[in-house]
Amino acid sequence: MPVLRSDKDPENLTLTFVAEFEAPQERVWQIWEDPRQLERWWGPPTWPATFEQHDLRPGGSSKYYMTGPAGEKAGGWWRIVSVDKPNSLEFEDGFSDERGEPAEGMPTTRGTVTFEEVDGRTRMTTISRFASLEQLEQLSQMGMEEGMREAMGQIDALLAESRV
């Protein structure tokens, strides 16, 4: 399992994941940059993602949906805030309605992902920031921590494929 640790910090309104992979930093970056690779791990195994739009540049956006075991769909969107290839990216992340627009009344988080070489491996640190303790608890109860851990657990197999 690539996730070394996760930390839910109610005081700082963050949920942090630290994972390490047996791959160069540029290769780990590609799993975020390429929507076909991203959909192979974004979302837990029972809720695979389909990215309909993915523009990984400042001001860009992504639209996707995850399909559940019974065929139900849960939509999501990103607004890309900053990109420093292959070192970091920052984005707003939220739920979308059936039209792909931000869903009213659902929380929005701000995600920061950093990549760094550590002893020949790549460490990926993902921090989700919440606007309130209520939002942190709401998304925790919806299974965000377990879902992210399962999603990141799919990355090793993807990285093992010969794509560089």
User: Residue 46 in 3-state DSSP?
Assistant: coil
Q: What is the pLDDT along the chain (164 residues), one digit of tens a residue?
A: 488 999 999 999 999 999 999 999 999 999 999 999 999 999 899 999 999 999 999 999 999 999 999 999 999 999 999 999 999 999 999 999 888 888 888 889 999 999 999 998 999 999 999 999 999 999 999 888 899 999 999 999 999 986 44
pLDDT value for 1: 47
Burial class of residue 100, CB neighbours in 10 A (0-12, 13-18, 19+) = middle
Residues 6+ apart with CB under 8 A from 74: 47, 65, 66, 68, 95
Q: What is residue 13's DSSP assignment?
A: T
Structural contact between residues 1 and 19, judged by C-beta atoms closer than 8 angstroms: no
> CA torsion angle for 86, 111, 145, 25 (degrees, to 10)?
0
Q: What is the model's pLDDT at position 162?
A: 61
Q: Tell how strand 49-54 and strand 61-67 pair up.
A: antiparallel
pLDDT in tens, 107-137: 899 999 999 999 989 999 999 999 999 999 9
- Asked whether the beta carbons of 115 and 30 are under 8 A apart, the reply is no
Predicted pLDDT at 3: 87
The full set of domains in the chain, from first to last, is: 3-160 (3.30.530.20)
How does DSSP assign 68-124, residue by residue? -TTS-EEEEEEEEEEEETTTEEEEEEEEE-TTSSBPTT--EEEEEEEEEEETTEEEE
Q: Could you give phi then psi for residue 120, rounded to 5 degrees? A: 80, 5
